[in-house]
Amino acid sequence: MEKKNIDWGNLGFGYIQTDYRFVSNFKDGKWDDGELSTDANIVLNECSCVLQYAQTVFEGLKAYTTEDGRTVVFRPDLNGERLEQSAARLKMPVYPKEKFLEAVQKVVKANEAFVPPYGSGASLYLRPYMFGSDPVIGVKPATEYQFRILTTPVGPYFKGGVKPLTVRICDYDRAAPHGTGNIKAGLNYAMSLFAIVDAHEKGFDENFYLDAATRTKIEETGGANIIFITKDGKLVTPKSDSILPSITRRSIVQVAREYLDMEAEEREIHVDELADFAECGLCGTAAVISPVGKIVDHGKEICLPAGMTDMGPVTKKLYDTLTGIQMGRIKGPEGWVVEVC
Ligand code: PLP
Ligand code: COI
């Protein structure tokens, strides 16, 4: 398979149009078989539910080229399950996990020339999404839907590679109300746009959102969960019902316990204990594990002892093991790495 002529090593996290996307329509109470399309544009009625009431959910996963030249995706079954949960919460028809997994296979195979080569530091990002497409004007769910998977080759989410990030404790809430923070819904992300632009304008890379009820506990950032390493080498990560159940985070916890013999704990994390941690990182499909060097809490700077100039040593071990599994250098647990071609 001849790869496209792209400068893989210098890709950022942006949209590059690829040759094919998967498209399936829901009408009269059922999904059609779906097909690959070369058309990247969508024509919608002006009153479609997605445009008026943001009835849309999405997922994110990556395809990689392994060391031995295979094309694989990482734990797509968990994306399929989470998409089902997100859709149910927004009163959308579920796109069945089995059909989801078939669509992932088809769209990656069709765009194999866009899957970055092994060692380039890049990957093919898959963005499955679904939206209510027919017109509604009263507040109610659509009756017709479209499910699509677009693909785009991407490099690191944060500019500067492993240069540690500076984040701030954020006074704005990220999630839409009514507890929808734990699903991947477009509205949640729209609600975070004001805060992320404000953070960037003030020189911060990201926001640490707090729990909306007490504003004392750390939740997550706009596009990633958070992990901390204690001074005695334990992994700690926030427990909350209003953060996205990150597949990367769940994988890191298992990697810590089963591959690195570390203790890993999911618990509430208070703002006033941040200064006690040795390392911190943002984790997600896009973020992978991006180290945090400094947390600013309303003018008070917390500089983490490891990670001001480079990734901390424990974070590095987690990063190397996780990416080693994803790229086929280390054997992963059963079912984590799924071959496409
Ligand atoms: N939290 C938010 C708000 C996200 O957008 C993402 C990215 O999908 C994550 C966490 C990380 O989740 P995952 O590891 O499943 O990509
Ligand atoms: C992902 O990591 O897949 C995400 O959805 C993060 C994102 C908002 C770019």
Is 230:254 a contact under the CB 8 Å cutoff?
A: no
Distance CA(64)–CA(327), nearest Å, equals: 6
Structure token digits, residue 220: 């997550």
The preferred substitution site among 193, 221, 285, 326 for testing ligand 2, maximizing ligand atoms within 8 Å of CB, is 285
Which residues belong to the active site? 184
Judge if the beta carbon of residue 225 lies within 6 A of ligand 2: no
The pLDDT averaged over each successive group of 10 residues in the chain (341 residues) is 94 97 98 98 98 97 97 98 96 97 98 97 98 98 98 92 88 75 90 95 96 93 96 97 95 98 98 97 97 96 85 96 97 97 93
Question: To which H or E segment does residue 167 belong?
Answer: strand 165-169
What was the pLDDT predicted at 175? 73
Helices (H) and strands (E) in the chain, counts: 6, 17
What was the pLDDT predicted at 161? 64
Instruction: For strands 71-74 and 235-238, give the pairing.
Output: unpaired
- Of 269, 221, 271, 219, nearest to 241 (Cα)? 219
Q: Which residue has the tokens 């994803």?
A: 326
Instruction: Give the CATH fold of the 8-154 domain.
Output: D-amino Acid Aminotransferase; Chain A, domain 1 (3.30.470)
Distance CA(334)–CA(278), nearest Å, equals: 32
Distance CA(312)–CA(77), nearest Å, equals: 31
- A 10 A CB-CB count for 114 gives 22
Structural domain boundaries of the chain? Answer: 8-154, 165-326
Structure token digits, residue 62: 């990556």
Residue 5 amino acid letter: N
Instruction: Give the CATH fold of the 165-326 domain.
Output: D-amino Acid Aminotransferase; Chain A, domain 2 (3.20.10)
Asked whether the whole model's pTM tops 0.75, one would answer: yes
Structure token digits, residue 191: 């609600």
Ligand 2 centroid, distance to 139 Cα (angstroms): 28
Distance CA(282)–CA(298), nearest Å, equals: 20
